[in-house]
């Protein structure tokens, strides 16, 4: 009987702890990592990252800090024509712009993340979140690290947020028009991870503004 009571109390304490950390009751204990990644293609098992932008905000979209990195992929020859048309990747240009290797990129990402986190739970947020999560996971694993060591297991997908508010535009350009905000640049050499992350933050803020008052 005593053992059963102890088990019930333990389960109650675990549930209470989980509730106490929920963003709705402890918003100051959570922040968002708005991430956008440019790559050499669509397959995270073959293609590689060439740029990452990260903007960390509180739950209301107020910026805490940002990181902008150009990355020289180990296999630049794997660039797809479609990817090049989007992000303008060119090894010579990347070298002139101070692109760094993958190991240094991971070191800077971890340092930035740890500084921004400050003991809080970080929710990974992106536009088509599976894409950015998959490529960041692959990058981290090549350096012996895990995505889950940085972020909460639940993620936030911006088009899904828009869909829940009745907006059916999946593409960024059309969604920006529906929200009345500027679109992200479509000039390939200016289209980087940080421009994508900044666009994602602007969409997130616009979606918050559409919420109905309680």
pLDDT digits over 92-137, tens only?
999 999 999 999 999 999 999 999 999 999 999 999 999 999 999 9
pLDDT score of 1: 54
Look up tokens 């790559």; give the residue.
39
Residue burial 102-114, b: 16+ Cβ < 10 Å; e: rest? beebbebbeebbe
For domain 27-209, give the fold.
Nucleotidyltransferase; domain 5 (3.30.420)
Reference 52, options 114, 121, 110; nearest CA is 110
- Structure-block tokens of residue 182: 């500027």
CA within 13 Å, CB half, 50: 29
* pLDDT per residue as tens digits for the range 133-169: 999 999 999 999 999 999 999 999 999 999 999 999 9
Within 8 A by CB and 6+ apart from 177, the residues are 169, 183
The distance of Cα 179 from the centroid of its chain, to the nearest Å, equals 21
pTM confidence score: 0.88
Poorest-confidence range of 25-29, 162-166, 205-209?
25-29
Q: What are phi and psi of 213, to 5 degrees?
A: -60, 140
């Amino acid at each position: 009987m005593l053992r059963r009571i102890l088990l019930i109390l333990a389960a109650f304490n675990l549930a209470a702890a989980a509730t106490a950390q929920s963003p709705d009751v402890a918003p100051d204990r959570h922040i968002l990592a708005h991430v956008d990644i440019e790559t050499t293609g669509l397959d995270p098992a073959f293609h590689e990252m060439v740029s990452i932008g990260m903007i960390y905000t509180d739950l209301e979209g107020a910026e805490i800090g940002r990181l902008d990195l150009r990355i020289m992929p180990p296999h630049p020859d794997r660039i797809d024509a479609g990817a090049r048309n989007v992000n303008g990747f060119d090894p010579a240009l990347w070298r002139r712009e101070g692109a760094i290797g993958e190991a240094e990129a991971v070191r800077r990402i971890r340092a930035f993340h740890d500084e921004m986190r400050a003991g809080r739970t970080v929710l990974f947020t992106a536009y088509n979140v599976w894409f950015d999560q998959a490529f960041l996971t692959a990058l981290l694993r090549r350096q012996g690290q895990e995505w889950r060591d940085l972020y909460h297991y639940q993620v936030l997908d911006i088009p899904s947020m828009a869909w829940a508010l009745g907006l059916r535009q999946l593409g960024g350009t059309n969604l920006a028009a529906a929200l009345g905000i500027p679109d992200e640049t479509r000039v390939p050499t200016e289209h980087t991870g940080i421009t994508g992350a900044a666009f994602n933050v602007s969409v997130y803020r616009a979606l918050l503004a559409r919420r109905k008052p309680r």
